[in-house]
Structure 1
Amino acid sequence: MDKKSSIAVLLCSYNGSEYIRQQIDSIINQSEPNWTVFVSDDGSTDGTLDILQSYRDKLGSKRFIIINGPGKGFAWNFLSLLEKCGDHFDYYAFSDQDDEWMPNKLTKSVSVLSNYDCDAPSVYCGRTSLVDENGLSLGESPLFSKPASFKNALIQSIAGGNTMVLNRAARNVINKTSKDVRIISHDWWIYIVITAVGGNIYYDPKPTISYRQHTNNIVGSNLGWIARFQRISGLLDGHFKEWIDSNIYALNKTDINITADNKHYLEMFNDVRNSNLFKRLYVFRKLGMYRQTILGTLGLYVAVFLKKL
């Protein structure tokens, strides 16, 4: 890896005083030292700002920069920070406030991304090691083995934003996102956009972060069969269709160069969602859409059958 590569670490915070010290310490202890931390705080009232200011005093205001978030939710907090941090970094790494990075997190992700042409939008992401509130292991997130693609991205997000590192070309594409659209989740949006323009997504099967699971987000981790069935049921309750509507609207409002094949695919996908049952089943099968697991793909076709997509 080029030791001169510069990395912007983008940390978003909101009332994160309980665990944010551990996350920042894990960033400081990275084997790759050439980083600058940008923190976007979205109105914390619990002492988080005092903690952040103590790290700014320790590291200096040029290496630890605190700004005010936009107050539009977590997705736009990350996307606005991606823009505000500037375009003079080689790589941009998203960080949640309550995880812990393994020491090789930045070294490994930048090593992977450096193998791609720097002009090609490229994103590193991957699996996570799951831990509880006390840092005790809960196993690992599901291993996804099917290829990353636009066909998958339109109907599934494969990796958390807390694992994502973008090169500058990917950052510049994402920054074209229209400011007046609803973004469901920044990680899903990045997966959709980068695959839409023909960019590179590298999914690492080996975790480089410990993803802290709280009582209220165990289901979000896909931990266990109950959680997986609940996530599949989410395909059928109407929310998933609403999310896809929002993503497609945002794509149409954002000035990016979607490849000709993907543009045609998107048009077919959007058109067939409101077609009759026979056409839905026929065209969806022809399109070859898939989720990363057999159970997920089964749920997808049930959603197609019930017109919930």
Structure 2
Amino acid sequence: MLNSGDCDGVEPEIVVLLATFNGARWIPQQVASILDQQGVGVRIIAADDGSTDGTLEWLRELASREPRLTVLEDPTPTGSSAANFYRLLRSVDTGNALVAFADQDDIWMPGKLRRHAALLARGFDGVSSSVTSFTATGKRTLVRKDYPQRPRDYLLESPGPGSTFLLTPRLAQLTRELLSRPDAVAPEVDFHDSLIYAIARSHGWSWHIDGESSVDYRQHDDNVMGSNTGLAAALSRLKLIRSHWLRNHAVLLTRVAIQSAPPSDRPELERILHLLTATGFRSRLVLARMCGQMRRRPRDQRIIALLVAIGVW
């Protein structure tokens, strides 16, 4: 069980943004694990994206008797989990509360929010953590995310699933602003966890990746993105690499970072953007040599550098 941490005797207020779509099988367990969090004042704001399995009806029924749950009524489906989270961020005034994100099918560990709020109180603007993946057969695997951070790791990887995130009010507001500006690139990013981490780190704010698992991360066929472990996950990532999806994703994150970064850091990000979009051999070699700055795990650094150099990535 997670250590409860130290919040100086004051219960922090936390708004949990919950995005749902056809999750009726799992959502009661997920919501219970959020509402059962101790040592924090927690509220859930949920937005359903057009479920047909009774998820929205279940949320409405619970909200009628649970004042800590509010259902955002918007009949227009966004079409993706990330877009639903972006809608929540833009639509909900979270004020001075800390902000967390919840998938519909995970289970939060007791003490998750209090522990991460205590970590934020040390001066970080974002906290995430390792997770424990689990399957219907009972297999459990720790998915470590706390490898040492690198200067530009936010361009190629997230610091853990978004369901482990906790943000300060100013990071939530900065993300909201970048999602809403007229020339916004942020809404094009397919994963909210990658986006928020890139915004925080490129802006010069600090992030802590907690090595202690805070979420039981359910693995099933409907996962938007699984835990990235095992042969099947490796083959799936290789397919994305060969299609250049990961490179294009990095291009988007770099463009977001340019909008988020202080002026002094933008020229270097513009150079990285040029390298990411160039196709020449010399550009690939320069980018390959930078991979040590862009991935946290040494093994991943070597693999990505090789794939970049030979033109597969």
Residue in 1 that maps onto 2:60:
53
Residue in 1 that maps onto 2:100:
93
Residue in 2 that maps onto 1:152:
153
Residue in 2 that maps onto 1:278:
282
Identity of aligned residues (%): 24
- Partner of 2:64, secondary structure, is helix
Once the two structures are superposed, residues 152-208 of structure 1 have per-residue CA deviations (whole angstroms, 9 ceiling, x without a partner) of 111122311111010101101101224564122100011111100001111010011
Residue 83 (structure 1) aligned with residue 74 (structure 2): no
Distance in structure 1 (CA, Å) of the matches to 2:238 and 2:158: 13
Q: Does the C-alpha gap of structure 1 residues 283 and 191 become closer, same or farther in structure 2, counting only changes over 3 Å?
A: same
Equivalent position to 1:65, from 67, 70, 88:
70
The alpha-carbon deviation at position 9 of structure 1 amounts to 0.9
The alpha-carbon deviation at position 294 of structure 1 amounts to 3.1
Residue in 1 that maps onto 2:198:
192
Distance in structure 2 (CA, Å) of the matches to 1:288 and 1:33: 38
- Partner of 2:157, secondary structure, is coil
The alpha-carbon deviation at position 5 of structure 1 amounts to 2.1
Once the two structures are superposed, residues 17-75 of structure 1 have per-residue CA deviations (whole angstroms, 9 ceiling, x without a partner) of 00000001111211134111100111111111121122112212xx2110135522211
Residue in 1 that maps onto 2:30:
23
The alpha-carbon deviation at position 236 of structure 1 amounts to 3.0
Q: Does the C-alpha gap of structure 1 residues 173 and 239 become closer, same or farther in structure 2, counting only changes over 3 Å?
A: same
Residue in 2 that maps onto 1:212:
218
Distance in structure 2 (CA, Å) of the matches to 1:138 and 1:215: 16
Query: TM-score, with normalisation over the residues of structure 1?
Result: 0.87
Q: After the TM superposition, which residues 233-244 of structure 1 pair with which residues of structure 2 at under 5 Å, given as runs?
A: 234-244=240-250
The answer to whether the 8 Å contact 2:29/2:107 transfers is: yes
The answer to whether the 8 Å contact 2:21/2:49 transfers is: yes
The answer to whether the 8 Å contact 1:6/1:34 transfers is: yes
Q: Which amino acid aligns with 1:270?
A: L
Query: TM-score, with normalisation over the residues of structure 2?
Result: 0.86
Q: After the TM superposition, which residues 1-309 of structure 1 pair with which residues of structure 2 at under 5 Å, given as runs?
A: 1-2=7-8, 3-60=10-67, 63-68=68-73, 71-72=77-78, 73-116=80-123, 122-133=125-136, 136-147=138-149, 149=151, 151-179=152-180, 181=185, 182-215=188-221, 217=223, 220-228=226-234, 230-232=236-238, 234-252=240-258, 254=259, 256=260, 258-260=261-263, 262-273=265-276, 274=278, 276-282=280-286, 284-285=288-289, 288-309=292-313
Moved more, 122-131 or 136-145: 136-145
Q: Does the C-alpha gap of structure 1 residues 218 and 97 become closer, same or farther in structure 2, counting only changes over 3 Å?
A: closer
Q: Which amino acid aligns with 2:82?
A: A
- Partner of 1:130, secondary structure, is strand
Distance in structure 2 (CA, Å) of the matches to 1:145 and 1:286: 17
Q: Which amino acid aligns with 1:242?
A: N
- Partner of 1:26, secondary structure, is helix
Once the two structures are superposed, residues 66-104 of structure 1 have per-residue CA deviations (whole angstroms, 9 ceiling, x without a partner) of 013552221121122123221423200100001011110
Distance in structure 2 (CA, Å) of the matches to 1:99 and 1:191: 21
The answer to whether the 8 Å contact 2:129/2:211 transfers is: yes
Once the two structures are superposed, residues 212-239 of structure 1 have per-residue CA deviations (whole angstroms, 9 ceiling, x without a partner) of 0103549731222452354245323321
Q: Which amino acid aligns with 1:146?
A: P
The alpha-carbon deviation at position 283 of structure 1 amounts to 5.3
Unaligned runs of 5+ in 1: none
Task: State the number of aligned residues.
Answer: 298
